[in-house]
Amino acid sequence: MDFIKAAKTEDFESINWKTVKILAKNIGIFKRDDGSFYAMEISCKHQQANLLANGLPKSGSLIKCHRHGWEYDLSTGKCLTHPDGYSDLRFYDLKVENGIIFISASPLPKD
């Protein structure tokens, strides 16, 4: 699997999420409370709007697209508006080496 340099761990000293572009796709990098990281696509499946354009929700993991109201759970990637499985957000493999965060070029396969 190919990995692309996406961020530095020091970028997350005062924030817990960041948006990056990987091969023209909006990817969110999130720092968990335990200090680990995960990455997932953050473009709404309806019209590709960046779900984090207005920031993270104040509490919880549910986020609503600012364009047409599609709802997603950022902890699972599930689309709550259209629970067909095709509208879910995909996760990306992520690794940290020497303070550099690398993200896979392709999303992980769905379960």
User: pTM score > 0.75 for this model?
Assistant: yes
d(CA 95, CA 111): 20
Arithmetic mean of pLDDT, 32-53 = 91
Residue recorded with tokens 């104040």: 58
Q: Could you report the per-residue pLDDT of 82-92, keeping only the tens digit for each?
A: 988 889 999 99
Residue recorded with tokens 């995960």: 38
CB 29 within 8 A of CB 37: yes
Between 46 and 78, where is the model more confident? 78
Within 10 Å of residue 62's Cβ, how many Cβ atoms?
Answer: 13
